[in-house]
Structure 1
Amino acid sequence: MWETCLAQIALLEWGKKIEKSISRAPLLKRKVLQMDNRIVSLRSGEGGNLLVDQDTSSRPSNLRKRQKHHKAKMASDIVPSPTDSIIKITPPSHSSEGDIKESYFSIIYEVTLPLLLSGFAMVGAGIYLHSLQDWPVFKEVEEIIILIPALLGLKGNLEMTLGSRLSTEANLGNFANLHGQWNFIMGNLALVQCQAIVIGLLSAVVTVGCVFITNQEASLNNSILLIACSMTTASIASFILGCITVAIVIFSARLKINPDNVTTPIAASLGDITALVLLSYVAQAYHAAIMNGLLWMPIVAIGTFLLTTPLWVYITMSNKCTYAVLKHGWVPIISAMLISTFGGLVLEHSMSQYEDLSAFQPVINGIGGNLVSIQASKLSTTLHKAYTLGQLPDEIPIIISPIKAFFSSAQHALTCRALLSFVIPGHLIFAAVIIWFREGSIEVSSLFYPAYLIAAGIQTLKSCKIVL
């Protein structure tokens, strides 16, 4: 008799734990529903006769009959189980705004510090880029300047998209399982390595092609130098930033901070300066080796990265979390790389006429990119939470008007307004810091600030609209 009482108590406690802890587990719904029926049976008193040994109703055969009858009754009822509010067989059909509504001030509170850190890091990157013009390797091989926007763009094309994927997984609760967490992380790090090597190679090849098209002098040694610099910088920078991005997502999730608000700005804060420092020293080392007759060193580096690429491809394809990205994710990053490379041509031409412009390049590009990346990451998380991939309800418009994008009561419009409030103050602060830090070497006219702020505002507004 006492064993039976203990069994009832254990059954009740087990049911309570299941109701509280289970989340998004469609495969367990049937088992939980059966357990829920047993719990209801015990609570309603139908299992009370188990305490009476003399009662025939306590026999196992009669108990099973009663349980079957009770299950049939429950199945015919319309009253939902308490666990129905927890377990979802399909994504909910409610509004795309997601489960948690963030206020204007909560967004401001969480993104201010990361954006300030990333902004000052980009100021440092701009000042460092301005000083690189005096390095011998950048004077003798001016084509390296064309590579800079493409390599700086890797932080947005690879690391910030990595941060967005990781943030979405963390917000969906998929990092609760340690094995699943590390499986997702390792697959994504291998994916980023594969993408970095390929994009590094393609950006260097496109740069060499642009040099020939513009009738500039291009030697075989310089072409090898460009390819080796691009692949080495892309691979090492992506590995370092990928590890940092993973750490940021894990710690922010543990601190109950929305990873969407902090991951991409912090990853960007280190992205520009990391890529620039690596590019400068790698280019200097390879250039010195070539000048000393050691042309084989950059060639061996290129061969090493090419030989390791199949390994990263195999790891990525073996991981179900990253297989689809490897298969379908090339068009966006290659398109972004081409745009960045042609932007490098513009930068090279502009720097020959306006040397001071290089100090502002990482800032004006980086601030807008950081703000838009936060919005893109939050939208991605919302869509993954609310809808099935490839299925968007008819009431959700594909194209949103500018008025709705920025002034509606929707969550994405609120996020846009919160992020746009950083544009003018942020650029004023960072531009002033650059001019103050490089006092005497950077001169700007009275029209610089208005033109600079107008360009920055248009860039961010247009980018936010494109993302939406």
Structure 2
Amino acid sequence: MENLRHKISDAAYLPNPLKVNIGKMDSPIEKWNLIIGNLALKQVQATVVGFLAAVAAIILGWIPEGKYYLDHSILLCSSSVATAFIASLLQGIIMVGVIVGSKKTGINPDNVATPIAASFGDLITLAILAWISQGLYSCLETYYYIPPLVGVFFLALTPIWIIIAAKHPATRTVLHSGWEPVITAMVISSIGGLILDTTVSDPNLAGIVVYTPVINGIGGNLVAIQASRISTYLHLHSIPGELPDEPKGGYYPFRTFFGPGVNNKSAQVLLLLVIPGHLIFLYTIHLMKSGHTSLTIIFVVVYLFAAVLQVFTLLWIADWMVHHFWRKGKDPDSFSIPYLTALGDLLGTALLALSFHFLWLIGDRDGDVGD
């Protein structure tokens, strides 16, 4: 279910902020066609990914236990599909308002839309998932037919959304070719979920669960902003399949952060935001007494090193990935952002797990639940 929550969030960048920046929403007719087409497209993707995430969760739960419960499987599928559908629709409507409002106020939507999408996506999805799953679970004994009906109802709406999405040329293309990054990203996030489950199962390292959403959320937000900015730059200065003169050649960390271009400056700024941003969240967690780990100097240093390394790696990969998809003639917003946010989850979880293991080995065991 955690993987489902991440994938709904990743699929909800509606419509692409770059469409505003390059003038594709200046015409009222074009604007509403693009909005409706994108909303329909994301409903299709959210429904399908929600169902696949539920199937993956059932399989991963069945393999270690060797037990299969049909009613629980139906409940999980119905909850996943319903949550994906409703959360994606609500988040899509919010994003439309944010992007259109950003255009009217002169704010760059690349800097606003992507972090809001990720933040609201997690909040909305988690709340709806808890509400729907609890409601359907209460129906298992007396109204056992309600959970499967709910799942069938939302799945049955998929052909309608496909027809609507196919009417707009831009969404029609993504409807046929945009499944690979979304499904692959779900698999990548699932690996991160397995790492988290393995780490949490150790009572000495259970404190990791409090910090995982923080490191993954900040990393995903920052790299999504950078990916959108690079994509917008490419749309404004070149055509798909051809790279402008500036980014040609190999993509190395030095070139990503110390080149002369505007995207290099934004990468520097985003990387500099990591430490102050995480310090604020660490102090907030400490004040709320939500974590099992006290803020020792060693813990803060190791945690911040993991966070900086995560964002540094993500920004480097984003520089290469966005240009790679552009050179292949594919829209980087539709293809790169799912990969990057999923890699953010995987890297953040893996680095955080390594950090907690390292702290335990060197004797800084304030992360112990028993403290």
Displacement after TM superposition at 1:301 (Å): 1.1
Between the aligned partners of 1:419 and 1:396, the Cα distance in structure 2 is 19
Displacement after TM superposition at 1:395 (Å): 6.6
Unaligned runs of 5+ in 1: 1-146
Matched to 2:11, the amino acid is L
Partner of residue 190, structure 2: 341
3-state SS in 2 of match to 1:322 = helix
Between the aligned partners of 1:350 and 1:150, the Cα distance in structure 2 is 20
Deviations 1:198-256 (A, max 9, x none): 00001111111112232353311221121112111111111111000010000110001
Displacement after TM superposition at 1:462 (Å): 0.8
The structure 2 residue matched to 1:158, chosen from 11, 19, 25, is 11
Further displaced range: 213-222 or 168-177: 213-222
The question of whether the paired residues in 2 share the 8 Å contact of 1:208 and 1:223 is answered with yes
The question of whether the paired residues in 1 share the 8 Å contact of 2:25 and 2:31 is answered with yes
Between the aligned partners of 2:245 and 2:110, the Cα distance in structure 1 is 27
Deviations 1:35-86 (A, max 9, x none): xxxxxxxxxxxxxxxxxxxxxxxxxxxxxxxxxxxxxxxxxxxxxxxxxxxx
Partner of residue 286, structure 2: 435
Partner of residue 325, structure 2: none
Partner of residue 199, structure 1: 49
Further displaced range: 409-418 or 341-350: 341-350
Partner of residue 237, structure 1: 87
The structure 1 residue matched to 2:138, chosen from 280, 284, 288, is 288
Between the aligned partners of 1:347 and 1:232, the Cα distance in structure 2 is 25
Partner of residue 149, structure 2: 300
Deviations 1:102-140 (A, max 9, x none): xxxxxxxxxxxxxxxxxxxxxxxxxxxxxxxxxxxxxxx
Displacement after TM superposition at 1:362 (Å): 1.5
Unaligned runs of 5+ in 2: 320-371
Partner of residue 356, structure 2: none
Between the aligned partners of 1:464 and 1:220, the Cα distance in structure 2 is 43
Q: Is structure 2 residue 165 aligned with structure 1 residue 324?
A: no
Displacement after TM superposition at 1:398 (Å): 5.5
Displacement after TM superposition at 1:364 (Å): 0.8
Between the aligned partners of 1:294 and 1:399, the Cα distance in structure 2 is 60
Matched to 1:287, the amino acid is Y
Between the aligned partners of 2:294 and 2:268, the Cα distance in structure 1 is 30
Partner of residue 409, structure 1: 260
Partner of residue 31, structure 2: 181
Between the aligned partners of 1:252 and 1:305, the Cα distance in structure 2 is 32
The change in CA–CA distance for 1:153 and 1:434 in structure 2 (over 3 A counts) is: farther
Map 1:343-362; keep pairs closer than 5 Å.
343-353=192-202, 354-362=205-213
Between the aligned partners of 2:245 and 2:62, the Cα distance in structure 1 is 50
Deviations 1:300-357 (A, max 9, x none): 1110111100111111111112011111111111011111122222223333334432
Between the aligned partners of 2:63 and 2:248, the Cα distance in structure 1 is 43
The question of whether the paired residues in 2 share the 8 Å contact of 1:229 and 1:282 is answered with yes
3-state SS in 2 of match to 1:248 = helix
The change in CA–CA distance for 1:379 and 1:315 in structure 2 (over 3 A counts) is: same
Partner of residue 389, structure 1: 240
The change in CA–CA distance for 1:200 and 1:438 in structure 2 (over 3 A counts) is: same
Displacement after TM superposition at 1:394 (Å): 7.0
The change in CA–CA distance for 1:444 and 1:216 in structure 2 (over 3 A counts) is: farther
Matched to 2:92, the amino acid is G
3-state SS in 2 of match to 1:289 = coil
Matched to 1:408, the amino acid is G
Q: Is structure 2 residue 79 aligned with structure 1 residue 225?
A: no
The question of whether the paired residues in 2 share the 8 Å contact of 1:435 and 1:442 is answered with no
The question of whether the paired residues in 1 share the 8 Å contact of 2:237 and 2:244 is answered with no
TM-score of the superposed pair, with normalisation by structure 1 = 0.65
Give the structure with higher Rg (CA): 1
Map 1:8-407; keep pairs closer than 5 Å.
147-155=1-9, 157-160=10-13, 162-163=14-15, 165=16, 167-290=17-140, 292-353=141-202, 354-392=205-243, 396-397=247-248, 399-407=250-258
Partner of residue 421, structure 1: 272
Between the aligned partners of 1:293 and 1:350, the Cα distance in structure 2 is 38
Displacement after TM superposition at 1:389 (Å): 1.6
Matched to 1:449, the amino acid is V
Between the aligned partners of 1:436 and 1:457, the Cα distance in structure 2 is 23
Partner of residue 349, structure 2: none
The question of whether the paired residues in 2 share the 8 Å contact of 1:152 and 1:276 is answered with no
Between the aligned partners of 1:407 and 1:242, the Cα distance in structure 2 is 36
Matched to 1:150, the amino acid is L
The change in CA–CA distance for 1:176 and 1:395 in structure 2 (over 3 A counts) is: closer
Identical counterparts, % of pairs: 38
The change in CA–CA distance for 1:270 and 1:383 in structure 2 (over 3 A counts) is: same
Between the aligned partners of 1:335 and 1:358, the Cα distance in structure 2 is 24
The question of whether the paired residues in 2 share the 8 Å contact of 1:228 and 1:298 is answered with yes
What is the CA RMSD across the aligned residues, in angstroms?
Answer: 1.8
Matched to 2:172, the amino acid is Y
